[in-house]
């Protein structure tokens, strides 16, 4: 019963938003993930989506009413603004990269240049050929977006063999700095801790008796 009520409320909200004229972005309900959160944020950085609303659902009928759908729906079709990556056979990557894209990577692939050009003040008709826009598009993916794509696809962005060869794991586990010649960074941590709090100065570790408080005289 509760699910029906929530579904009705979501559908009604989607219809109201659709008739308002602002683009409607759809993504999945339930726990949110970093990739669709970033995807929605990047879309809202563009003038087209500045006033866009968001509906979170897995209902195909409601998703059909959305202008743009990210991370749900089982469809990747940029012409229809559908940016999901969970369907079988999906292998799209960023140019020159091997990491499969998440919804964040898909949105950045298709809208990243426009976002960068807008921030740089580059006209829209020049964004595809502008050198700085292309350079930043590649560098931002390499240094930021790819990590989210990898994480969402269960891929480590670090090379375990390279980390092992550099000895980083060993230094972390032993707490040793390479310039300290093997000495611990905090030698005091090697000292044994006392078994318990120290007692008072009485004999054989016994606490001193509590002093008797003087009785007040009655008035």
pLDDT bin (cut points 50, 70, 90) of residue 22 is confident
Q: Cβ contacts of residue 49 below 8 Å, gap of 6+?
A: 23, 25, 43, 68
pLDDT bin (cut points 50, 70, 90) of residue 32 is confident
pLDDT bin (cut points 50, 70, 90) of residue 103 is very high
Looking at the chain, the whole-number percentage of residues with pLDDT higher than 70 is: 65
Map residue 8 onto helix, strand or coil: helix
pLDDT, position 15: 52
Burial of 17 (0-12, 13-18, 19+ CB in 10 A): buried
pLDDT, position 180: 45
Average pLDDT over residues 99-115: 97
pLDDT digits (tens, 9 = 90+) for 188-213: 444 444 555 555 555 455 555 555 55
Quick one: which of 90, 76, 95, 110 has its CA closest to 153?
90
Chain-centre distance of CA 7, in angstroms? 28
pLDDT at 215 over 60: no
Contact 63, 28 (CB under 8 A): no
pLDDT, position 176: 46
Radius of gyration of the chain (CA): 30
pLDDT at 93 over 50: yes
pLDDT at 3 over 90: no
pLDDT digits (tens, 9 = 90+) for 159-194: 777 767 776 665 444 444 444 444 544 444 444 445
pLDDT, position 35: 94
pTM, two decimal places: 0.65
pLDDT, position 209: 56
pLDDT digits (tens, 9 = 90+) for 36-61: 999 999 999 999 999 999 999 999 99
pLDDT, position 34: 93
Angle at 51 between CA 40 and CA 118, to 5 degrees: 70
pLDDT bin (cut points 50, 70, 90) of residue 156 is confident
State both tokens at 202. Answer: 């009485």
Mark out the alpha helices in the chain (DSSP H runs).
Answer: 2-20, 34-44, 60-64, 103-120, 131-140, 146-152, 160-166, 168-174
Map residue 151 onto helix, strand or coil: helix
């Amino acid at each position: 019963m509760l699910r029906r009520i929530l579904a009705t409320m979501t559908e009604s909200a989607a219809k109201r938003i659709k008739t308002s004229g602002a683009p409607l972005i759809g993504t999945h309900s339930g726990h949110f993930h970093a990739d669709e959160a970033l995807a929605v944020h990047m879309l809202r950085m563009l003038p087209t989506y500045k006033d866009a609303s968001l509906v979170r659902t897995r209902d195909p009928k409601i998703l059909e009413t959305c202008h743009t759908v990210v991370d749900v729906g089982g469809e990747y079709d940029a012409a229809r603004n559908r940016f999901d990556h969970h369907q079988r056979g999906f292998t799209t990557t960023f140019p020159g990269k091997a990491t499969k894209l998440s919804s964040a990577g898909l949105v950045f692939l298709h809208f990243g240049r426009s976002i960068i050009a807008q921030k740089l003040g580059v006209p829209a008709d020049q964004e595809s050929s502008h050198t700085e826009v292309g350079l930043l598009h590649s560098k931002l993916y390499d240094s930021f977006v790819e990590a989210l794509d990898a994480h969402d696809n269960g891929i480590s962005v670090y090379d375990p063999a390279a980390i092992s060869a550099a000895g980083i794991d060993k230094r972390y586990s032993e707490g040793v700095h390479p310039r300290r010649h093997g000495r611990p960074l905090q030698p005091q941590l090697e000292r044994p801790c006392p078994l318990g709090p120290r007692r008072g100065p009485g004999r054989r570790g016994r606490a001193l008796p509590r002093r008797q408080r003087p009785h007040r005289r009655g008035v």
